[in-house]
Amino acid sequence: MLELRNIIHRFPESSWELNIDRFSVSPGEVQGIIGPNGSGKSTLLRISAGILYPLAGNVTLSGNELKKLKRHTIARQVGYLPQELSSEYDFTVEELVRMGRYPHTKGLGILNSTDITVVQQSLEFTGLEDLKKRRLSQLSGGEKKRAFLASVLSQKPGILLLDEPASALDLHRQVHFFRLLRKLAKGKIGVAVVTHDINFASLFCDKLLLLEEGLCLAQGPPEKVLSRGVIQKIYGKDVFLGKHPETGRPTLLPALTDKKT
């Protein structure tokens, strides 16, 4: 389990600070981090991944302080998919996915048969088997995201932290991507996903954390977090709060006029 307590972080150029009392990712659940742009979502995720060290507070991974762990050790347990995915070189999908085995190898990173099996599984899980010989430049946006996800999955992490993994994808590809996350949670992986799409978060996440200007406005199951009051506070009278026809989860729709909420 990944646990953050009393986190405070501040950027010199920003007028607010990130202040989170408690945030944790446990196996088997999908957790959504939502909020307006620039509310500190990515910062929170970076701190969770140990990419960024907070000014104050504790981040622990199964009881051990994250700061004191080696990168190798962290990477075996935590997978992190940044928002900006780019590569200086045009690797093949297979090469990229094989790189995910880094924390399980030493020196020059020669893979053994176990590693190759894991790579194969990651490719199958993300549906990239047929594309494994393709180069990154030959992939669509969604395929590229999946290729990087497969690379992270090859680390065999118990906890997966994803920053806007489905942004800039077509609607149906977004749906597929979030379904993959649910499938991962079924396999006892703890997932935390940053997204600006509240409807996806509401539908696919077990718990939500709503951030605004670095503060946690609400935390808990979607029905509780996405209450009328909260929605009105953030979006004013520009949206309707409806229910998802399949699940009854809260769903937001744009309003034509600002008469009702």
Partner 1 sequence: MKTKTIILFGLFFLAVAAITPWIGSETIRVEEVWNFFLGTHNPQSDIFWFQRIPRVLLALLAGGTLALVGACFQVLFRNPLVEPYTLGVSGGSALGAFLAISIPSLWHVWGPFSSVQLLAVAGASASLGLIYSLSRSQQGISIYTLLLAGITVSIICGGGILLLTYISSPNALVVFQRWMMGGVDIVGYKELVALLPLLFPGFFLLFIHANDLNHIALGEEMALGHGVPVKKVQRNIFIGGGLATAAVVSLVGPIGFIGLIIPHSVRRLVGFDQRTVLPCSFLLGGAVLTVCDCVARTVLAPTELPVGIITAIIGGPLFIYLLVSRQWKIR
Nearer to partner 1, 146 or 249 (CB): 146
Helix (H, G, I), strand (E, B) or coil at 53: coil
What's the rounded Cα separation, in Å, for the pair 98 and 118?
9
- Least Cβ distance, residue 78 to partner 1 (angstroms): 8
31, 181 Cβ separation under 8 angstroms: no
Nearer to partner 1, 63 or 107 (CB): 107
Helix (H, G, I), strand (E, B) or coil at 15: coil
- Look up residue 175 and give its two tokens: 């749906």
- Least Cβ distance, residue 53 to partner 1 (angstroms): 12
Listed residue (222, 224, 258) closest to 240, CA to CA: 258
- Least Cβ distance, residue 151 to partner 1 (angstroms): 8
Q: What's the Cα-to-Cα distance from 34 to each of 66, 207, 214, rounded to whole Å?
A: 24, 11, 11
- Least Cβ distance, residue 171 to partner 1 (angstroms): 21
Nearer to partner 1, 18 or 49 (CB): 49
- Least Cβ distance, residue 77 to partner 1 (angstroms): 10
What's the rounded Cα separation, in Å, for the pair 4 and 63?
11
- Least Cβ distance, residue 62 to partner 1 (angstroms): 16
- Least Cβ distance, residue 117 to partner 1 (angstroms): 19
Nearer to partner 1, 10 or 175 (CB): 10
Nearer to partner 1, 108 or 171 (CB): 108
71, 112 Cβ separation under 8 angstroms: no
CA dihedral (210, 211, 212, 216) positive or negative: positive
Nearer to partner 1, 54 or 100 (CB): 100
Rg of the chain in Å (alpha carbons): 19
Residues that bind partner 1 (CB under 8 A): 46, 49-51, 70-76, 78-82, 84-91, 95-96, 99-100, 102-103, 107-110, 136-137, 144, 148, 151-152, 155
Instruction: Give the bridge partners for 219, in sequence order.
Output: 209
Nearer to partner 1, 94 or 212 (CB): 94
Instruction: Give the bridge partners for 253, in sequence order.
Output: 240
- Look up residue 189 and give its two tokens: 């992986």
